[in-house]
Amino acid sequence: VSPAALEEQRIGLLGGTGDQGRGLARRFGLAGLQVSVGSRDPERAERVAAELRASAPQARIDGLPNAAVAEQCDLVVVAVPWDGHATLLRELAGRLSGRLVVDCVNPLTFDERGPRALPVPEGSAAEQAAALLPDSTVVAAFHHVSAVLLLDPAVDAIDCDVLVLGDDRSATDRVQALAELIPGVRGIFGGRLRNAAQVEALTANLLAINRRHRAHAGIRVTGL
């Protein structure tokens, strides 16, 4: 999948007003893609899109209600907190039919001892998405890339790999190519969706590392 082919696609972000959604929107916008930031609140979506355009004037970024993002975008990234994941996807299942849905949701909780991965009845957030969206193609990716780094205008290249998981080879190839539009990032196939749980859960370890080192740690796979 060439970057040129990706540039013709419209990328949407459900929950695009949060840190992760804004960070990915900014980087995809800088890479030349047409991006739609989604929200439950259309005014918030427009406000965030305007802020992102102000920080990256060449980027084509607009703001829409989540439902319109699902309907109008070819590739839709799910960037909502875990506790809103199932409800939102159930609500948008019809509109997401036929779409490539990229899930970056980490089912985590935090207490006084730090972050912890939550058990998920379906196995993982990505498998829950696949169960709720039988007419979409679900890929899991972007779990370990820091929103702080994505949003930082002083960070030109992000030093990390993005693990991309899914059951459809052409879909994972597309998402690997999408990840590689972010300077410094390598997209690496990480297995089928049934292996997503430990990738999501590993984020708890990265957050523990971040707390200890006051860092924004990512992962690199060696030997490739």
Between residue 195 and residue 214, which ones bind ligand NAP under the rule CB under 6 A? none
Quick check: 65 binds ligand NAP (CB under 6 A)?
no
Q: 6, 11, 12, 20: which one contacts ligand NAP (CB under 6 A)?
A: 20
Between residue 76 and residue 135, which ones bind ligand NAP under the rule CB under 6 A? 79-84, 88, 104-106
Q: Give the interface segment with ligand NAP, choosing from 51-59, 143-151, 153-161, 183-191 (CB under 6 A).
A: 143-151
Quick check: 44 binds ligand NAP (CB under 6 A)?
yes
Question: Residue 7 or 86: which CB sits closer to ligand NAP?
Answer: 86
- 3-state helix/strand/coil string of the chain: CCHHHHHCCEEEEECCCCHHHHHHHHHHHHCCCEEEEEECCHHHHHHHHHHHHHHCCCCEEEEEEHHHHHHHCCEEEECCCHHHHHHHHHHHCCCCCCCEEEECCCCEEEECCEEEECCCCCCCHHHHHHHHCCCCEEEECCCCCCHHHHHCCCCCCCCCEEEEEECCHHHHHHHHHHHCCCCCCEEEEEECHHHHHHHHHHHHHHHHHHHHHCCCCCCCCCCC
Quick check: 41 binds ligand NAP (CB under 6 A)?
yes
Quick check: 12 binds ligand NAP (CB under 6 A)?
no
Residues near ligand NAP (CB under 6 A): 15, 17-21, 39-41, 44, 79-84, 88, 104-106, 142-143, 146-147
